[in-house]
Amino acid sequence: MKFRKFFTFLTALLLVCSLSFSAFATESEETLPPEGNISEETPTVTIEQAPLTPYAFSGDLEVRAKAAMLIELNSNTLVYEYEKHAQLYPASLTKIMTCMLAIEYGDLDAVLTVSETALQNLSEFGSTAGLLEGEELTLNELLYCIMVSSANEGCNVIAEYISDDISTFVDLMNRKAAQLGMTDTHFANAHGLHDENHYTTAYDLSLLARWAWQNDQFREYATATTHVVPATNKSDARTLYSTNYLTTTYVESKYYYSKASGIKTGFTTPAGGCLISTASSGNLEFMCIVMGCSPQTADNGEYGDERFVESKKLFEYGFDNTSFTQVISDTKMVDMPQVLYADGRENVVVRASEDRTVLLPSSCSSDDIELRVEYSSAPLEAPLEEEQAVGVVTAYYNGKAVASCPAVTVTAVARSASKYTAAEAEAAVSSATSWVLRYWYLTLPLLLVAFLLIVLIILRSINVRKAKKRAAARRRNAERRRYNG
């Protein structure tokens, strides 16, 4: 009784602890509030993204940039990287974060007014949409201003709208960066003009850009090559032209790349030329990140903007040298292992449970792929069910694992009825022992009763034997007396 009371108390205690933990977990998973004046105490929740898969082949490619990455988006494959964790200045790539926070927390139809403070502390040489103090325009139009023509003042207007003041908005930027896993990033402003405490890495930017690229509204702003802002209370209608010359010929045609679309440019003298862009062809879609590109001047004196030149080089490298290859097929036999104690057979056919397709060099052929099966137990033993998982099949390219999936049996395998193995006997004993221990409160009294019965049977047998001996002795004595008499 005491034991049962203790067990009941322990169960109740565990239930209370579980409920308390669940409540705590629910509280810690709250998202950021949808309105301005966002508290610094708001919990940080990680934004999950598919991890980047390392590419199985590294070619010879040099990129004139301080950092660079090339990612195939459909497979999340990192095809090329250079100094991806180097801390550098992002310049106007910062505006990707500003745009996403505006989409997340703002009302696109809200009318915003350009304040005096929004126009302060901006470089006279920085990009602008020519916004004026007191000018009124919607958040939607401001987002075109910052993403198409990279308007610095527009970022300040948005920051004041979302968080009431710029510094609070910057805090929000850093908290969102933490959610995205941008561990080597710190924002100091909303636009990206130079600040020693405003830095990031190519890898962190890949987290930000991949997250943003999944948002349809962001894509609308990030892929626009031109946009007409309607007339406002202080300006006639104005036409914006994209600063990403890979996607447009309106301003400069020599960098145009027909496969490119989006995302954002950036430049300051300390940061150099920066660009995050995408390009697609067939079933391939690449995202390219270059940071710290220096302008180049050709022998003929012609100026070259290397962020566009190097990005195009990376895109062409990806399209020319990679393709999707099926390395595992669910219809192909991968092995025929031995099966012990099988009825009427010695082997079973094993196949992959699913198809697997990965990004590999275009030169890859089926002869370059090796399939290996690692079994969960070896050798296999009957009985086996049809489609039973028995291990893992892995595809290797040039000795490197590139894909894997469960290995399953094609047919069922019955066990021979005449074979009872030591392993099965041991399993039976183990099962019986487990039952006895589990139901000890029943088995212990039964065992005691059985023990007492055995003792009684033994004692009775001994007494019967003694009685027979005494009877035999009496008979012998009686016979002697008759004989002597």
Between vectors from CA 465 to CA 463 and to CA 467, what angle results, nearest 5°?
A: 70
Arithmetic mean of pLDDT, 44-50: 82
What's the confidence (pLDDT) of residue 420? 54
pLDDT in tens, 374-401: 999 989 999 999 999 999 999 999 888 9
Q: Please report how many Cα atoms fall inside a 13 Å half-sphere around the Cα of residue 173, on the Cβ side.
A: 28
Residue from 119, 112, 116, 168 nearest 141 by CA = 112
Beta strands in 183-310 (DSSP E): 226-229, 238-241, 260-268, 272-281, 284-293, 296-297, 303-304
pLDDT in tens, 334-345: 999 999 999 888
What's the confidence (pLDDT) of residue 13? 40
pLDDT in tens, 256-268: 999 999 999 999 9
Beta strands in 348-388 (DSSP E): 350-352, 356-361, 369-375, 380-381
Average pLDDT, rounded, for the chain: 86
What share of the chain in percent tops pLDDT 70?
85
What's the confidence (pLDDT) of residue 304? 86
Q: Are 208 and 222 in contact (CB under 8 A)?
A: no
Q: Residue 185 pLDDT more than 90?
A: yes
pLDDT in tens, 411-437: 999 998 865 555 555 665 677 677 777
Q: What is the C-alpha separation between 411 and 413, in angstroms, rounded?
A: 7
φ/ψ of residue 67, rounded to 5? -160, 150
Lay out the sheet containing 369-375: strands in order across: 333-335, 350-352, 400-409, 389-397, 369-375
Q: Which residue has the higher pLDDT, 385 or 480?
A: 385
Q: Residue 44 pLDDT more than 70?
A: no
pLDDT band at 297 (very low <50, low <70, confident <90, very high): low
b/e code 168-195 from CB counts within 10 Å (16+ = b): bbbbbbebbbebbbbebbebbbbbbbee
- Bridge-based pairing of strands 53-54 and 77-82 is parallel
Arithmetic mean of pLDDT, 451-455: 86
H or E stretch including 414? none
Q: Residue 315 pLDDT more than 50?
A: yes
Arithmetic mean of pLDDT, 204-232: 97
Q: Which two tokens stand for residue 21?
A: 């933990």
Residues 6+ apart with CB under 8 A from 183: 204
Arithmetic mean of pLDDT, 217-222: 98
Q: How many CB atoms lie within 10 A of CB 104?
A: 16
Task: Tell me the helix, strand and coil percentages in the chain, rounded to 5.
Answer: 40, 25, 40
Q: Are 114 and 151 in contact (CB under 8 A)?
A: no
Q: Residue 475 pLDDT more than 70?
A: yes
What's the confidence (pLDDT) of residue 427? 64
pLDDT in tens, 6-32: 434 434 443 434 433 333 333 332 334
pLDDT in tens, 86-138: 999 999 999 999 999 999 999 999 999 999 999 998 988 889 999 999 999 99
Task: Report the range of poorest mean pLDDT among 229-238, 311-320, 364-373.
Answer: 364-373
- Bridge-based pairing of strands 350-352 and 400-409 is antiparallel
Q: Are 75 and 215 in contact (CB under 8 A)?
A: no
DSSP conformation class of 92:
G
User: CA 330 → CA 33, 326, 357, distances in Å?
Assistant: 46, 11, 11
Beta strands in 26-176 (DSSP E): 53-54, 67-72, 77-82, 111-113, 136-138
At how many degrees (to 10) do helices 422-438 and 440-484 cross?
100
Residues 6+ apart with CB under 8 A from 319: 259, 279, 281, 284, 286
Arithmetic mean of pLDDT, 398-414: 93
pLDDT in tens, 221-249: 999 999 999 999 999 999 999 999 999 99
What's the confidence (pLDDT) of residue 434? 75
φ/ψ of residue 151, rounded to 5? -70, 115
Residue from 52, 72, 68, 70 nearest 359 by CA = 72
pLDDT band at 467 (very low <50, low <70, confident <90, very high): confident
DSSP conformation class of 327:
E
DSSP conformation class of 417:
T
